[in-house]
Amino acid sequence: MALDGSFDQTLSRKAMKAELLDAETELALAYAWRDNRDEQALHRLITAYMRLAISMAAKFKRYGAPMNDLIQEASLGLMKAADKFDPDRGVRFSTYAVWWIKASIQDYVMRNWSMVRTGSTSSQKSLFFNMRRVQARLEREAAAVGETLERHTLRQMIALEIGVPLADVEMMEGRLSGSDFSLNATQSTDEDGREWIEALEDESEQASEQVENAHDRETLRHWLSQAMAALNDRERFIVRERKLREDARTLESLGQELGLSKERVRQLEAAAFNKMRKTLEGQSREIRVFL
């Protein structure tokens, strides 16, 4: 359901004019959709309860999300509810749909609150939408009796009230206390001020590290060449096919090509590795090669 900048008001007016379904009509529409996939019944059911979706979306405007987007997410939740609703359970569709609409809106708000993932578990979601309300109530109650709650004590009380770990409260407090800032923003009001992105550490490989790594790779290649040179032709072939190919060959396929049993190929491979190990140990006592 695509919504432009002004369509939310038009949709709201249409929703308010939609029919009110009685229990029998609602049940008949639900059966028609579930059993016969009657799209007209589905459309009528969703249209009738769009006012419910819009009303719930409006309750989340304080989180800064555009109303159009909130209505769209509420609509998606309403459609999910209609698709999963079981009329045999004896529950009104509106009662069932409330959960799906709310869940859809909450997921959207949490996804878009910050580029840093705010949380996805049930406890984190409960904290996100209830922590400030619970905190304000606890502070009011303390002020009413002339007390001032310390920050750590307040966090502990919030964790106990909502039923979540203290660490989750501390994490969520940090998430909710700030907002995202552009790395291209300047560090001062001066037009020539340095951008924040320039203060980030460069994690790429430095020139000195590139030289050291290139030297190490060349040394390893030299040692490996000498270790391979100590093998006979058959042993070199087995090591190359088993360890130096992207798609390593099996002992069985090598045995078929060499006219040997799989066990004999395994023994030759082990003997070759043992020769290479001794050669490498002779080259440097500092390298440990696990073959």
Three-state SS for 87? helix
113: confidence class by pLDDT, cuts 50, 70, 90: low
Angle at 156 between CA 150 and CA 159, to 5 degrees: 140
pLDDT reported for residue 40: 92
Residue 4 and residue 77: Cα distance in Å, rounded?
Answer: 19
Residue 75 and residue 104: Cα distance in Å, rounded?
Answer: 9
Q: What is the mean pLDDT of the chain?
A: 78
Q: Exposure string (b/e) for 55-76, b if CB count within 10 Å is 16 or more?
A: ebbeebeebebebbbbbbbbbb
Sequence length of the chain is 291
147: left (phi over 0), alpha (psi -120 to 50) or beta: beta
Residue 22 gets which letter from DSSP?
P
For the chain, what percent of residues have pLDDT higher than 90?
A: 21
| Contact predicate 120/165, CB 8 Å | no
| Contact predicate 275/235, CB 8 Å | yes
Residue 181 and residue 256: Cα distance in Å, rounded?
Answer: 64
* pLDDT per position as a tens digit, 5-45: 454 667 677 777 778 888 899 999 999 999 999 999 999 99
Q: Which of 59, 149, 67, 145 is nearest to 98 (CA)?
A: 59
Residue 174 has pLDDT above 90, yes or no: no
**Looking at this protein, which amino acid is placed at residue 13?**
R
Residue 227 and residue 277: Cα distance in Å, rounded?
Answer: 8
* pLDDT per position as a tens digit, 216-260: 788 778 888 888 888 899 999 998 898 888 888 899 999 899 899
